[in-house]
A and B are shown apart, each in its own frame.
Chain A
Amino acid sequence: MIALARTAPMSRDDDIQREKFSLAAHLYSRLRRGGAFTIDAMLMTRDDEYARQVIALAMANPDPKTREYAVLYAALLPAPRKVKPAPVHLASVSSRQPVTPAVAPVPAPAPSATNVEPPAEAPAANRYVRSLR
């Protein structure tokens, strides 16, 4: 998605990494603007578990564009163990590749960004919500 001058032939892995980073950057700005969440875009490209948590968070966001980026990112992730991929209906997404998200989307978006609960599949992330101890 980001047009960059290529100085050397790039592998498919490089392309995926670039695509991941581009989508992570979009998610960063969308989540920060719309939900006051701050994510680590670089970490997202390196750590698939972290990326899945961010995707789950984004899927709970009422903004359709945010969810769209999350679905696109999920398509780039390897399938998680013991989780059956669920198809996602993408009415308004013009994806350039078949989308089979690695993370099941949250069924219904939360009514507002202010009462979004942390993703249920990420208990570690719940640990420091509202309370440090």
Chain B
Amino acid sequence: MKVLCALGAPRAASRYLGIGALLLASGTCSAAGPSLVPVSQISSGDTAWMLVSTALVLLMTLPGLALFYGSMVRKKNVLATALQSFAVAALVTVLWITVGYSLAFTPGSPFLGSLDRVLLMGLTFDKEAAMLSVSHLAPSIPESVFVMFQLTFAIITPALITGAFAERMKFGAMMCFVALWSLLVYAPVAHGVWESGGWLAGLGALDFAGGTVVHINAGAAGLMCAWMLGPRQGFGQEPFIPYNLGFTLLGASLLWVGWFGFNAGSAVAADGRAGMAMLVTQVAASVGALTWMLSEYIARRRASLLGACSGAVGGLVAITPASGFVDVMGAMIIGLVAGVACYWGATGLKRLLRADDSLDVFGIHGIGGLVGALLTGVLASRQIGGADGNITAQAIAAFATLFYSAGMSFLILLVLRWTIGLRVSPEEERDGLDLSLHGEKIE
């Protein structure tokens, strides 16, 4: 049965619907997990594209996000902030191969996977026998590639959160938080949305490339971190001059380009749907950047570089869940709404929330993710993705993820506050984390 599923229905389904919607067509195979198949089943074209996509998505974090975030903090915290992304990449990699992948992408309960792939046991490549293992979610590529591709998503999600608590969190506390969050929040949410038997997948929620799993998830956790850690010293009283907005442009550009792997790679195939996903990604990013700049010009009579970068990222975030489901017109609408909504999220809403979300993780990823998730329910086209949108299912998935992520993050942070503490001392914060935590400095 497993082999039959791997060879038949899921392959067709994955090509038709993408990972995010595979479950819609795989009800009969919901219990099937990774399986061993002949090498001849593997598509070299799909595999080549997924290898490239994996590298592109990793490029978003290293060095994209490290540059993007590191350049927006004050000079005394640049190295510490960039290091957070780098360290998260290393930490999550180890956790992912140890247990994260198994919890997220093997059949189990509707809320969590099994332990069948702990330490990637069972992941096989036997050259002599010409057999290898594939995931039931991506039967045309080796499971090793699928593990790596999904790992890059697992890396960037907690790395995004680090922007919310920048310039004030202990390095050790940050590492503990990310470790616990990856296993207790990311893995269950990824399983619930992307695994065939996941509970949100069963509702019919569409999330092509991670608008809910990555962006709403990270945004909600970021907001909770900002609240729990409290504002930075001098917040609201003195200007926090960003270190170098030139590097911000560089980081944002790497994110933009890497996003092609993120969205088009989520088709798990080198096909027309991947091409559409890439096209709508470019359109939404561009419209998002233009809309943010226009909003900024109307509100402040100027358009800024940081605004253009932020608008592009907002558009990219919002198109993420929709990228395999909408046409070009849909992408323009999503980019337009995201540009305005994320601008409000990073300015007006930020003031309302009264949280020092240092680099606007919630304002851009949380709000952009919500916009994308909800509009996917409105704009999804059966012609493009093989499924119609359902705004109710989208709203349930989006808000369930928002509240679960925020609640679990709160509990994790509470435990860490009681044990090792969350914040650096006031003296360390004044001196800057580069010097006080890492003994390094930019001159």
Instruction: Report whether over half of chain B's contact residues are helix, strand or loop; otherwise say mixed.
Output: loop
How big is the B interface, by class?
A: 20 to 34
Instruction: Report whether over half of chain A's contact residues are helix, strand or loop; otherwise say mixed.
Output: loop
- Bitwise, B352-383 to A at CB < 8 A (1) or not (0) is 00000011100100000000000000000000
> How far does the Cβ of B348 sit from chain A's closest Cβ, in whole Å?
10
Q: Contacts of A12 on B, CB cut-off 8 Å?
A: none
Contact A129 B236 (CB under 8 A): yes
Contact B239 A125 (CB under 8 A): yes
Of all chain A residues, which has the CB nearest B346? A133
Chain A CB within 8 A of B441 CB: no
Max chain B CB contacts within 10 Å: which of A32, A38, A128, A132? A132
Chain A CB within 8 A of B438 CB: no
Max chain B CB contacts within 10 Å: which of A57, A118, A128, A130? A130
> How far does the Cβ of A131 sit from chain B's closest Cβ, in whole Å?
6
Interface hits, B271-320 → A, CB 8 Å: 306-307, 310
Contact A130 B236 (CB under 8 A): yes
Chain B CB within 8 A of A17 CB: no
Give me the 4 closest cross-chain CB pairs, A-B, nearest first. A128-B239, A133-B346, A130-B236, A125-B239
CA distance A118 to B234 in the complex (A): 11
CA distance A130 to B72 in the complex (A): 14
Chain A CB within 8 A of B347 CB: yes
When A128-B242, A133-B306 are in contact, do A36 and B347 touch as well, CB less than 8 Å?
A: no
Contact B237 A36 (CB under 8 A): yes
Interface hits, A40-76 → B, CB 8 Å: 57
Contact B235 A130 (CB under 8 A): yes
Contact A37 B234 (CB under 8 A): yes
Chain B CB within 8 A of A114 CB: yes
CA distance A116 to B235 in the complex (A): 11
Residue numbers of A with Cβ under 8 A of B are 32, 35-38, 57, 113-116, 118, 125-133
Chain A CB within 8 A of B350 CB: yes
Q: Contacts of B430 on A, CB cut-off 8 Å?
A: 32, 36, 38
Residue numbers of B with Cβ under 8 A of A are 72, 233-242, 306-307, 310, 343, 346-347, 350-351, 358-360, 363, 430
CA distance A130 to B363 in the complex (A): 14
Contact A132 B242 (CB under 8 A): yes
Q: Contacts of B306 on A, CB cut-off 8 Å?
A: 132-133
Return 27 A-B CB contacts under 8 Å, by A number: A32-B430, A36-B234, A36-B238, A37-B234, A37-B238, A38-B234, A38-B238, A38-B430, A113-B237, A114-B237, A116-B237, A118-B237, A118-B238, A127-B239, A128-B242, A129-B237, A129-B239, A130-B236, A130-B351, A131-B346, A132-B72, A132-B240, A132-B306, A132-B358, A132-B360, A133-B346, A133-B360
12 more A-B contacts (CB under 8 A) besides A36-B233, A113-B237, A129-B239? A35-B237, A114-B237, A127-B239, A128-B239, A128-B240, A128-B241, A128-B242, A130-B235, A132-B346, A133-B306, A133-B310, A133-B347
> How far does the Cβ of A57 sit from chain B's closest Cβ, in whole Å?
8
CA distance A75 to B343 in the complex (A): 43
